[in-house]
Homo-oligomer: A and B are copies of this chain.
Amino acid sequence: MVAHGSRREASNEEVRVLAAHLRSAVAGKFDDVESAFLELAEPSIERGIDNAVTRGAARVVVLPYFLVAGRHVATDIPAIVAAKTRQYPAIEIVLVDYFGAAPGIVDLLRSIAGSFGRS
């Protein structure tokens, strides 16, 4: 799970805690879930992929935890994944669509906003 990264360490820690929750939630489908950051926090996305390979992963799924498809989602993260794919030709590295593109986003927004609207 890759996020932007923040100068505010509490924000990075929030991503790490969320990755830990996701690890439990997908335990039957993934051996591990780790967080990594595009900038300003550790590990970097490159290092996160390296760590997964070092621990024996044959397949690494990269999920960009971003709301909109800015330059980071459209260009920077695909470039990193492409470079790592060249570096590790025996490893399958899958880049998933960014979080904000999920069809479930509107439902989640509705459930958040709903309780503040007219009953």
Tell whether, in the assembled complex, residue B3 and residue A67 are in contact, meaning their CB atoms are under 8 Å apart: yes
Q: Which of A6, A22, A67 has the most CB of B within 10 A?
A: A67
Tell whether, in the assembled complex, residue B113 and residue A14 are in contact, meaning their CB atoms are under 8 Å apart: no
Tell whether, in the assembled complex, residue B110 and residue A26 are in contact, meaning their CB atoms are under 8 Å apart: yes
Query: Which stretch (A42-50, A68-76, A78-86) binds chain B?
Result: A68-76
- A residues contacting the other copy or chain, number (CB 8 A): 47
Q: Which residues on B sit within 8 Å (CB–CB) of A71?
A: 8
Tell whether, in the assembled complex, residue B110 and residue A69 are in contact, meaning their CB atoms are under 8 Å apart: no
Q: List 14 A-B contacts (CB under 8 A).
A: A3-B67, A6-B70, A8-B71, A18-B106, A21-B106, A26-B113, A26-B114, A63-B109, A63-B112, A96-B112, A97-B112, A99-B109, A99-B112, A102-B111
Q: Which residues on B sit within 8 Å (CB–CB) of A99?
A: 67, 108-109, 112
Q: Which of A26, A96, A104, A118 has the most CB of B within 10 A?
A: A26
